[in-house]
Amino acid sequence: MKRRDTQLYLTLLAPAVAILFLFIVLPIGQSMMLSLHRVVVGLPALGNPFVGFQNYVDLLKDPVARHSFSITAVFVTATTSCELLLGLLVALLINHRFPGRGALRACVLIPWAIPTVVSAQMWRYLFNDAYGMINYIVFGAETSKYVPWLALPNAALTAIIAADVWKTSSFAALLILAGLQLIPDELYQAARVDGAGAWKRFWYITWPLIRPAFLVALLFRTIDAFRVFDLAFVMTQGGPADATNVLQLYGYKKMFVEGWMGYGSAISVAIFLCVLILAVVYVRQVGKRLLESP
């Protein structure tokens, strides 16, 4: 009987394993192999010589790549912090019972459900210096004061951060809300009987019990933010002056605009390794502490 069960498990797992191998393991392996060669589209006479880790050495020496990494780090830090804070506040709000709570929960998820390219295009129109709603809200009808948000380096990066926070804060709120739903009401009732105020109930009951869910939101949002591409591509194309040229977009330009497939693959592999390291650190270090805490 156990042998039949094992065969059934393997049979059921086989399609999933095959799909993972075909669409994840195989492309990653091909990118790693490609990153070890000098491949330039449009120059077939050069061939595809094996250069070992030279592409990675060039990547470490590339000032544009270092700048793109710093831009990506700023984007990840800012978006993750704001999204988790807003997600926590929204989750605490919609966790209470009030008329229309179900409809409000559905509305909160609308930004997350909108495709990223669509939301990026919407925010590009909102920040347009000629007819954007942001300028109208800030300056009214005085068009002489309108600011070209997407043409200023700091403002463009802030605009992309704002668009990402608007879209994905609801996802963090959904994950944190799942943790809030698991907290028994009896704990809050006992705390009220003991005279605990709202802040003490949050700090000594809510926060310790939602930290596992908070960790999951932190892990997912950090990894997803590190792989940002579509927002920068649609809203600014990496400009102005490479102020929003995140690492994924820089790798895209190297591969599909300039034709340096080998070097672009090295950038993609480097991003994959960074995301993998972040995941391991979160799960094995921060995650262990949070999950073991009461």
pLDDT in tens, 150-178: 999 999 999 999 999 999 999 999 999 98
Residue 65: CA count within 13 A, CB half-sphere: 18
C-alpha angle with apex 222: 217 to 228, nearest 5 degrees? 125
CA-closest candidate to residue 163, choices 277, 244, 70, 264:
244
- Sequence-distant (6+) residues with CB within 8 A of 257 are none
Identify the helix (H) or strand (E) that includes residue 3. helix 2-20
Residue 286: the pLDDT is 60
pLDDT digits (tens, 9 = 90+) for 35-86: 998 888 877 656 778 888 999 999 999 999 999 999 999 999 999 999 999 9
pLDDT digits (tens, 9 = 90+) for 26-45: 988 888 998 998 888 877 65
Q: How does residue 131 score in pLDDT terms, banded at 50, 70 and 90? A: confident
- Measured distance CA(159)–CA(231) in Å, rounded: 10
- Helix residue ranges per DSSP H, 22-62: 26-34, 54-61
Residue 285: the pLDDT is 63
State the residue for tokens 């590339």: 62
Residue 85: the pLDDT is 95
pLDDT digits (tens, 9 = 90+) for 90-121: 999 888 887 877 888 888 888 988 999 999 99
Residue 289: the pLDDT is 55
Residue 227: the pLDDT is 87
Share of the chain above pLDDT 90, in %: 43
pLDDT digits (tens, 9 = 90+) for 239-261: 898 999 999 999 999 998 888 99
CA distance between the termini of the chain:
41
The answer, yes or no, to whether the previous bond of 148 is cis (omega within 30 of 0) is: no
Q: Which residue has the higher pLDDT, 292 or 124?
A: 124
- Give me the mean pLDDT over the 194-211 stretch: 88
Residue 66: the pLDDT is 94
Q: How far is it between the farthest Cα atoms of the chain?
A: 81
- 261-281 and 54-61 helices cross at what angle (nearest 10)? 80
State the pTM of this model. 0.89
Q: Name all domains of the chain by residue range, CATH numbers in brackets.
A: 35-292 (1.10.3720.10)
3-state secondary structure (DSSP) of residue 58: helix
287 alpha carbon, distance to own chain's centre: 18
Residue 293 scores a pLDDT above 70: no
* Cβ pair 228, 247 in contact under 8 A: no
What is residue 39's DSSP assignment?
-
